[in-house]
Structure 1
């Protein structure tokens, strides 16, 4: 006669084994396409400057869209303005006290985010430096390190802007430059690239910060046009300043006389290029940058390697290709290499 107790034990053991196998199979099937944690298994926090600037809003949108696609939780927060380092730091400190697995941070300046990131670093949570370089020496002294830098080549953006402005100006003339926030590294790199490309060809008669702000750029440009009436070109270190400059040029009755090149590729700038009030913009595709930040975090949480530096795509948008750019916005309208995923 068979032992009913033993048979029951066998059935229980077999059921447990099958359930365990099914659970493992389900977990394997539920992994994200990039090989990251299981769906919902990674929590990613990204903090940027402010969402009133369409550039940072696009970075947020790209990160959130990629999080939804990959099945991971993505939280994106920001300060209240381009210069709100205090507000940004408060956001980082609040998120650092929560259970996030990876952080991405766009600083206001080279050092402001280091202190609130110290608790994150102490917990060995991977941190991505996004878009604007954080001071390496100050970070090291504080015990903060970064798994990767993901951002555009701003030196190249400045060089491309210089070449485009020279072409539009016929290779000569007086130029004014609108910088971003004084001392901010992206603006410094863009100005250097622009200066390198135009040295000995265009005459830079004025360089003035306008804090990446459209209204301030409108005021500053109006003053510059009155002080230097022979200006025939303006380089603005971002699109919001470029749009402010375009309005000042229009107010002065010089639309079509003064060429304007800016940087970022936001929607309003693309439309301004189409309308002829901007000569061109160097698009930096922040939407793609946000996507790559999430992809990198997923890989880091899964203990996969990520390149130490990931260069986001940039491209000159002018009359020749603005319709394509508008049609594909916010995505780049041309294929680009993605070092994070190893594909296009």
Structure 2
């Protein structure tokens, strides 16, 4: 498993962003961004460092993939990474306490996926004041006070997904709805924004109703989407803003035998099954393993006195039923599920 993951970390942006209609990551804001190629390859440090990896939750394959990447880098460079996360992505107080505890314990560095871009500012400021480097992954801070932020361009990727959806799945006309996972995380804000931005180019496409929030619950997403199917009988597409937010709508469409197409973000083996069946017609696959791996690399570069890019855009891949069997799709899926075998 570790060998497979290390091979995937070496694939880089060129291998993972060459999906259908997507060729390169885009920046979410005016802040200059780089790719992982901008990071130096660190030497094994003389000191044995201990880092804290604190993600939004421990309940998603996505965050476990981030952990796998960090663990691989830790093994390669001779450091220790302690993984800690709330059981729920809604436990903001718990995550804040974890960061504060890491500062009090005197960790050598914190790798953080922030549940809320403003609420985590105070504990991160405390870490920086104690000269503890902070690298954020996936979900950053506003403003970005971390030493480095590694993430998918969520606005850019969601916008590209919307354009693919409009052109290839909707024939430039029809109706869509959005199921988000929450409205406080930076990713929960950016992805619907990007998707709606991409759809603005198509005057004959209309969003139905307000954005609905599943709170990372598949069962709640199922109930929301079931209501949507009844409320909007001419609905063509539901966009799920993360893996949990896409699974509920996919199950609702399957149960109702509806012709509605689901598009989303991320993947687990359940989502891959829906792609195979054609219920999920497109999904943006990020590089969670790379985020964890290169966060450790960035941390070691920082501790070695190197200047880090403020923002690093990690690669993404647009998975569809048509490219599911390709080698690039397999590499992208294995960022989430290292033992995935095409055709299984």
Provide TM-score, normalisation by structure 1: 0.79
Q: Does 1:163 align with 2:163?
A: yes
Partner of 1:300: 302
- Please list the CA deviations of residues 252-274 of structure 1 after superposition, one character each: whole Å capped at 9, or x if unmatched: 121xx111110123343233212
Aligned to 1:126: 133
Measured against aligned partners, the alpha-carbon deviations of 1:204-246 in whole angstroms (never above 9, x if no partner) come to 1122122232111111101111111111111111122111101
Runs of 4 or more off by more than 4 Å in structure 1? none
Counterpart in 2 of 1:321? 323
Structure having greater relative contact order (Cα 8 Å, sep ≥ 6): 2
Contact 1:49-1:79 at 8 Å conserved across structures? yes
Aligned positions of 1:1-344 closer than 5 A: 34-38=41-45, 41-136=48-143, 145-166=145-166, 167-199=168-200, 200-206=203-209, 207-254=211-258, 257-323=259-325, 324=327, 325-326=329-330, 329-331=333-335
Q: 1:163 to 1:60 in 2, by over 3 A?
A: same
Query: How far 1:157 sits from its partner (Å)?
Result: 1.6
Q: Is the contact made by 1:173 and 1:202 (CA closer than 8 Å) also made in structure 2?
A: yes
**Which whole-Å CA distance do the structure 2 matches of 1:97 and 1:112 have between them?**
18
Note the alpha carbon deviations across 1:137-192, whole angstroms, 9 max, x for none. Answer: xx8xxxxx321111110011211220222211222211111122123321222112
CA deviation after TM superposition for structure 1 residue 37, in Å: 4.6
Q: Between Structure 1 and Structure 2, whose CA radius of gyration is higher? A: 1
Of 79-88 and 176-185, deviating more is 176-185
1:258 and 1:93 map into 2 onto residues whose CA distance is 45
- Tell whether the 8 Å contact from 1:152 to 1:313 is kept in structure 2 after alignment: yes
1:18 corresponds to: none
Instruction: Give yes or no for contact 2:124–2:146 (8 Å, CA) kept in 1.
Output: no
Q: Name the CA distance, whole Å, in 2 between partners of 1:311 and 1:177.
A: 25
Q: Over the residues paired in the alignment, what is the CA RMSD in angstroms?
A: 2.1
- What stretches of structure 2 of length at least 5 have no aligned partner? 1-39, 337-344
**In 2, Cα distance between equivalents of 1:253 and 1:224:** 14
More helix as a share of residues = 1
**Kept in 2: contact 1:266–1:283 (CA 8 A):** no
Measured in 2, the distance between the counterparts of 1:219 and 1:266 equals 20
Quick one: distance in 1 between partners of 2:204 and 2:301? 46
Shift of 1:328: 5.7
